[in-house]
Amino acid sequence: MTETLFLTSDDVAGLATPAEYVERVVDGYRQRGEGAPAEPRTALFGDDPAGMLTSYSAILPEDGYMGGYTYSAGFGAGDAWFMTPLFDADSGEPLALLDGASMNPFKTGATGAVAVDTLARDDAETVGLIGSGPQARGQLRATATVRDLTAVDVYSPTQANREAFADEMTETLGVDVTAVNSSAAAVADADIVITATTAGEPVFDGDELAPGTHVTAMGQYNPSKRELDTTTIERSTYVPDLRDRATQDAGALLHTIETGVVTESHIHAELGNIVAGNAAGRTSDDEITVFDSGGTAIETVAAAGMLYERAREQGLGSTIEFAPASDALTGK
């Protein structure tokens, strides 16, 4: 038997700042760019009731951790649950099991911030944000750690939601966050555009992007749904989190390929390859860049490892026991 640390969502909440999440996640993507293994999601879909069960995994050898994410979303409860197992990358023993609810927007937001820092112009200072839920909060808070933001325009379909978001984030960030009445108004003249939605159809017109804009789209992980239109993909230097993930379920890219506008060669490089210096990022101030963030275990394992270390230092969590398979197989 081996003792494994169990960490609730409350245990890990507040253990790290957005900037600290970004620091660990960028190093995780560097390791990926240098050859660390990572696999895209496997998703199973239920029809009645509708829902998705998904999982993915990665090994970060320099951190000494491996693991992933398994979560359910939808189904009868209409909610989501996130489970994160963390293993020792040397011994293979289970180190921790985390409830991933509270860390989810932070580690996903950190991935978007890594892309902003890698692909956006150095002088980028304004954000057009589409979405006002927890993922939008995570993206904006993390982005504010890698660029000195001066203004944010946010749009989501429900006026009360976008106005409450604007008030909250203005106070949190000390930046003027304004609720606007359309996605076009959010995108207009933005240096950085972030989409954090569950939309099935494009949420803005790619012709509205100014030269030099960086776009992070983090709601695109279904082959039949897309936040970005064909024009945006065609105009951009396109960078996914994982190449295999993009060709599997990145709806905007797949639609653009299926309509014959681009081919798979339009994929410039994985984010990790750029972070590791094995591929170029932005090469001009007029270039439009897109980061397609569908979610990987790279950011999950990087964040979970950090939270595990801090929880142990502070004596947080409880322990559960796991039996090795050899015990079960021999009947001990």
pLDDT tens by residue, 1-23: 889 999 999 999 999 999 999 99
The hierarchical CATH code for the domain 2-104+297-330 is 3.30.1780.10
Task: Using DSSP, state whether 54 is helix, strand or coil.
Answer: strand
pTM comes to 0.94
Average pLDDT over residues 156-170: 97
Q: What pLDDT is recorded for position 241?
A: 97
Cα separation, 288 vs 212, in Å, equals 5
Average pLDDT over residues 201-214: 96
Q: What pLDDT is recorded for position 120?
A: 98
Q: Which of 297, 254, 291, 295 is nearest to 275 (CA)?
A: 291
Neighbours of 268 (CB within 10 A): 19
Per-residue pLDDT band at 223 (split at 50, 70, 90): confident
- Residue 259: both structure tokens together: 């309509």
User: For the chain, what are the domain ranges?
Assistant: 2-104+297-330, 112-292
Instruction: Look at 148 and 326; give whichever has higher pLDDT.
Output: 148
Pairing, β 38-47 against β 214-217: unpaired
Q: What pLDDT is recorded for position 43?
A: 86
Per-residue pLDDT band at 136 (split at 50, 70, 90): very high
Average pLDDT over residues 205-232: 92
Domain 112-292 belongs in CATH node 3.40.50.300: no
User: How buried is residue 279: exposed, middle or buried, by Cβ count under 10 Å (0-12/13-18/19+)?
Assistant: middle
Q: What pLDDT is recorded for position 332?
A: 54
Per-residue pLDDT band at 328 (split at 50, 70, 90): confident
- Residue 252: both structure tokens together: 């905007």
Q: What pLDDT is recorded for position 331?
A: 57
Q: Which of 212, 201, 224, 227 is nearest to 129 (CA)?
A: 227
pLDDT tens by residue, 235-272: 999 999 999 999 999 999 999 999 999 999 999 999 99
User: Terminal CA-to-CA distance of the chain, rounded, Å?
Assistant: 11
pLDDT tens by residue, 65-122: 999 999 898 898 888 899 999 999 999 999 999 999 999 999 999 999 999 999 999 9
